[in-house]
Structure 1
Amino acid sequence: MEIIAHRGYSGRYPELTRVAFEKALELPVHGIECDVRLTRDGKLVVVHDAEIGRVSDGRGKVAQLTLAQLREFNFGTESSPQSVLTLDELLELFADHPEHHLYIETKHPVPHGRIVEEQVLMRLRYAGLYDDPRIHVISFSQPAIVRLRALAPHLDRIRLRRRVERRLNPVDLHLGRPTGLGLSLERARANPGLIGRHGLPTYLWTVNEPEDLRWARDHGVDLVATDEPGTALEVLGR
């Protein structure tokens, strides 16, 4: 079972900041995970929420702010300020760690629609990572998975299943041809039979407690996303 640092080392450092990723990349984990959104001026930034109030000292929606405006806010702590991170900056950091994988989650619904996936692929090309097998794109959005298959069929693409999604439409599986399926820990605990369903690898989020990490391993989960990668390494004996 592979360990993925969810939003970087987010259990110890401000999520999705440079320091969170730097600390995660110091660990012998399989990879790191990030979320991306487009700013008003078309820049991809590494932010989870549609609004920035929870993770910064600013207010407003990412889609309604320019990158320059986002740069005015602190996404870290008072003692360790952090600027908003762009996908370009994260890719540059990631390029120095050839032993790690990167999981990029595209967030939807957004005003920009399909442009998000197009921009992700463009930035990967610019960084020389478009054909890199260490790159994976994940999304809750079925249209996003279909777009990824059409635009970059070689890329690993993981379809995340929503907690309220009772079953997957076979047509959706056929159209998007995901290479993996994602489940929440709560959903998997309630229905372990979903693990490995459809013959695809299972990506499980967010697994932080030792008991849950061991449960995931014992039930054949392929990938776990955790806020506490250090703990996961210790619990799993890595």
Structure 2
Amino acid sequence: MSERFIWVRPKAERALLSLLFFLSISLSACSSADTSGKLFLLKKQARKVTVVAHRGASGLAPENTIAAVKQALATHADFIEVDVHQSKDGQVVVIHDATLDRTTTGKGKISDFTLAELKELDAGVKHDSAFANERIPTLAQVIKAVKGKKKLLIELKKGEDGYYTGMEQNVLNIIREHKAEDWTVLQSFYDPILENIWKADFVIPTHKLIVGKIPFLPVYIDHTLKFGSFDKYSEAVAINIHRYFASKSFITSLHNQGFKTFVWTENKPENIKRLFELGADGVMTDNPELVEWK
């Protein structure tokens, strides 16, 4: 089925997007600020459900670093999630933002720096001085650290100035080189990135990231407001949604369309339990150490 497009005024679109993102950001702050600090035991489910360590165990160590990956490996998480960008010299590096300012001692766009220059920056000290000298890892370093002990969910990002040339193929090449095909999954908010992966001569599971869908309307939000159905994502295994939109009806609708869904990002163990009860197949959390299985 082809996607149907409906024209709306730019001001109306901006207003709706602003409202939705304000709601999701506000709810994110409320949920993430107060974790229980106690282990929360989840009963084994009749169906397979998945706990995902978001950016590694990013509540315990600097996000998207080897330290966070190692902490996540020691938890009961099934997946470790990381984000990737590409350096000036075409190296795939693990970091969330397209700029260095928030998480490292550097400033500016990742795409303006070579890997050697990025490796000079401290990616740990802003989290805690105990992690001083933690470096921005390459995707290859993360894959070597994980070694198939858990599955790896890799989110492909876009740069400040547009899409990275050849990053999708570079990621696939790294996965192939390290024989990680059986335990890696790729996800992205950006359709051109997913389409490039689907065109490649390499079969690997993919997830489509969105914020959520407006009830009763053919309208959804990924990195922008879009109109139409999810038919165009038929090659994806899952459509992953923000917890604000994780209603039982929406999750059931995704299941009925043949998609799984991993919900992002919930840090309270009791809310993780509730999301599984609503039907979520997976939940991403900064605090996988708080979750154990009975």
Taking structure 2 as the reference length, what is the TM-score of the superposition?
A: 0.72
Q: Percent identity?
A: 27
After TM superposition, the structure 1 = structure 2 runs for residues 17-28 of structure 1, keeping only pairs within 5 Å, are: 17-28=65-76
1:93 to 116, 120, 145: 145
CA contact (8 A) 1:55 1:75 kept: yes
Cα distance in 1 between the residues matched to 2:90 and 2:70: 25
Is 2:107 the counterpart of 1:59?
A: yes
Task: Structure 1 unaligned segments of length 5 or more: list them.
Answer: none
Q: Sort the Cα spacing of 1:222 and 1:50 in 2 relative to 1 into closer, same or farther, 3 A.
A: same
Task: Structure 2 unaligned segments of length 5 or more: list them.
Answer: 1-48, 221-226
Name the aligned partner's letter for residue 39 of structure 1. S
1:193 corresponding residue in structure 2: 249
Displacement of 1:143: 1.6
CA RMSD between the two structures = 1.9
Give CA-to-partner distance per residue, 1:148-176, whole Å, 9 cap, x none.
11215621100011357733633x63365
After TM superposition, the structure 1 = structure 2 runs for residues 80-119 of structure 1, keeping only pairs within 5 Å, are: 80-81=131-132, 82-95=134-147, 98-108=148-158, 111-113=162-164, 115-119=166-170
User: What is the aligned residue count?
Assistant: 228
Cα distance in 2 between the residues matched to 1:134 and 1:38: 22
1:157 corresponding residue in structure 2: 206
After TM superposition, the structure 1 = structure 2 runs for residues 213-232 of structure 1, keeping only pairs within 5 Å, are: 213-232=272-291
Secondary structure (helix, strand or coil) at the match of 1:133 reads: helix
CA contact (8 A) 1:114 1:144 kept: no
Is 2:228 the counterpart of 1:177?
A: no
2:194 corresponding residue in structure 1: 145
Cα distance in 1 between the residues matched to 2:238 and 2:83: 18
Give CA-to-partner distance per residue, 1:86-128, whole Å, 9 cap, x none.
0011111111xx3410000000255444511111001112212
2:94 corresponding residue in structure 1: 46
Cα distance in 1 between the residues matched to 2:234 and 2:105: 38
Give CA-to-partner distance per residue, 1:49-71, whole Å, 9 cap, x none.
01111101111111111111111
Cα distance in 2 between the residues matched to 1:177 and 1:153: 13
Is 2:265 the counterpart of 1:206?
A: yes
More RCO (CA 8 Å, sep 6+): 2
